[in-house]
């Protein structure tokens, strides 16, 4: 049985350094719900590396669905990186929910297709533990003009 | 004392078949928080039946507030259907929160009136257990062009 | 050691009367997660007093970032007021997450700067307990045309 990190590498990805939160907020907050488990709220992750956006633009007129899917995968990688820092990827018992905002032209209705790229990456890396409930909606404006922002709630083992 | 399902029928509604999640996400995720209760995150529900949108269009220039309210009721019915599948409507101890996104023309500010239709249906069917905290905002784009998407967090008995 | 209320006053703020929820929803919902603690979902708070918006307009073309930051502080004050009513400010062990929606012109990307005003106020008043994870996104339309709506999840002591 391979580990989540091994599966991530087998898919051709590396875990990024988890983005620092800017200003007076933090990347994750954990709430113990039993002696063995905690709920972890992961802040909205955007496709940035070293504070710079990897992708910008509105779907589908400024960036294609395919490019937005790449951006969604970067958000998912950053969620995984935050989980790794917050106790370790091996301790993710279940991804509970993703909330995905897709920078959308008026009338664009394929936010689920964009968000699927993140959902599938989490399921590929974490197996059944990566399958989550989800909210996917459009937005006319996102931080730094990125095409996608995704937040998560995770159930993690604390022992 | 009538059951939630009886009250639903008395209001003239039938519980729909709960929409399947598409791709790699699931309609609900439950987290046990004690030996007797679980928190249930319900994915964003849209007014669809058998994968087809029942309503599409932006409020108020493409669809009226009244039509958007009908769409919001369909979202609420789908939330109830997901609860029925995820343990049973009778086990809903409290609807904790609704998050409602209303496909809105720029400058439209009556998202709460649209969301009220869902809130009132839940309160009518579940009684005090149906009264929740709520987020209601606009969006310039939603999946399939539906007028409303609503997600929920529920507290359910697990025994 | 000063109390949150004392620090709030030292910053020149007064705790407002917590806004009533309209219609069939409630301002907060609490879920006990142990004998000593509860999770509290606070409904989306807007900059209103006595049911009237204190600020309206889109950022940055109708209201400046600075004015939107004032509006964000009003949202934070209302969140604190809801916490005070729901057990007491002194019982806030941790602000877990803020979800901030900023009424944005297309292409505006400084939602985090607007939301920071709320984040910083919570950290100033509550200390480390006020530091949270966060979602900040744009919206093309918000209730009553306010520039900001912010919801929260809190961890509160129940003893």
Would you give per-residue pLDDT tens digits along chain C (159 residues)?
689 999 999 999 999 999 887 667 899 999 999 999 999 999 999 999 888 999 999 999 999 999 999 999 999 999 999 999 999 999 999 999 999 999 999 999 999 999 999 999 999 999 999 999 999 999 999 999 999 999 999 999 997
Quick: pLDDT tens for C62-82: 999 999 999 999 999 999 999
Question: Is a pLDDT exceeding 70 seen at residue B23?
Answer: no
Residues of chain C contacting A146 with CB distance shorter than 8 Å: 109
**Which of 93-132 (B) contact C at CB < 8 A?**
94-99, 102, 104-112, 116, 119-120, 122-123, 130-132
Is the entire prediction scored with pTM above 0.80?
yes
Question: Is a pLDDT exceeding 80 seen at residue B21?
Answer: no
pLDDT value, residue C1: 67
Quick: pLDDT tens for A25-52: 899 999 999 999 999 999 999 999 888 9
Query: Which is nearest to B127 in space by CA: B159, B86, B98, B94?
Result: B94
pLDDT value, residue C114: 98
Residues of chain B contacting A135 with CB distance shorter than 8 Å: 43-44, 99, 149, 151
On average, the pLDDT of chain B sits at: 95
Region B93-117: what's the mean pLDDT?
Answer: 97
Mutate to test the interface with A, among B19, B20, B23, B25 (most CBs of A within 10 A): B25
How many CB atoms neighbour CB C5 within 10 A? Answer: 17
Return d(Cα A139, Cα C101) in angstroms, integer.
10
Q: Is B106 exposed, middle or buried (0-12, 13-18, 19+ CB in 10 A)?
A: middle
Contact check, Cβ <8 Å, A140/C139:
yes
SS3 percent helix, strand, coil of chain C, rounded to 5, is 35, 30, 35
Residue A22 confidence class, pLDDT cut points 50, 70, 90: low
- Grouping H, G, I as helix, E, B as strand and the rest as coil, residue C56 is coil
The length of chain B in residues reads: 159
Region B31-52: what's the mean pLDDT?
Answer: 94
* Chains contacting chain A through 3 or more C-beta pairs under 8 A: B, C
- Phi and psi at residue C64, to the nearest 5°: -75, 165
Q: Chain C: give the shortest CA distance to residue A59, in Å.
A: 12
- Work out whether the CA dihedral A140, C105, B63, C142 comes out positive or negative: positive
Q: Chain B: give the shortest CA distance to residue A134, in Å.
A: 5
- Grouping H, G, I as helix, E, B as strand and the rest as coil, residue C32 is strand
How many CB atoms neighbour CB B66 within 10 A? Answer: 13
pLDDT value, residue B1: 67
Estimate to the nearest angstrom the gap between the alpha carbon of C14 and the chain centroid.
14
Question: Is a pLDDT exceeding 90 seen at residue B100?
Answer: yes
Region B9-24: what's the mean pLDDT?
Answer: 85
Contact check, Cβ <8 Å, C133/A23:
no
Question: How much is the ipTM here?
Answer: 0.96
Q: Chain C: give the shortest CA distance to residue B103, in Å.
A: 9
Quick: pLDDT tens for C128-138: 999 999 999 99
For residue A45, what is the nearest residue in chain C, using CA coordinates? C135
C-alpha distances (whole Å) from C32 to each of A32, B35, C29, C121 are 12, 12, 10, 27
Alpha helical stretches, state H, chain A: 4-10, 65-85, 111-126
pLDDT value, residue A39: 98
Report which secondary-structure segment, H or E, holds A101: strand A92-103
- Phi and psi at residue C69, to the nearest 5°: -65, -40
pLDDT value, residue C49: 86
Structural domains in chain B plus CATH codes: 4-157 (3.30.1330.40)
pLDDT value, residue B20: 82
Q: How many CA atoms lie within 13 A of A78 on its CB side?
A: 30
């Amino acid at each position: 049985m391979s580990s989540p990190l091994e599966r991530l590498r087998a898919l051709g990805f590396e875990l990024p350094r988890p983005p620092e939160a800017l200003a007076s907020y933090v990347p994750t907050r954990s709430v113990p719900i039993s002696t063995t488990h905690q709920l972890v709220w992961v802040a909205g992750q955007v496709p940035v590396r070293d504070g710079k956006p990897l992708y910008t633009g509105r779907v589908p007129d400024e960036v294609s669905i395919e490019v937005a899917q790449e951006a969604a995968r970067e958000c998912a990688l950053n969620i995984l990186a935050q989980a790794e820092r917050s106790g370790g990827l091996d301790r993710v018992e279940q991804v509970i929910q993703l909330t995905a905002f897709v920078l959308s032209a008026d009338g664009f209705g394929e936010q689920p297709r964009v968000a699927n790229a993140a959902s599938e990456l989490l399921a590929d890396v974490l197996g059944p533990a990566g399958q989550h409930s989800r909210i996917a909606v459009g937005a006319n404006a996102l931080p730094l003009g990125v095409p996608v922002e995704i937040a998560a709630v995770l159930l993690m083992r604390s022992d």
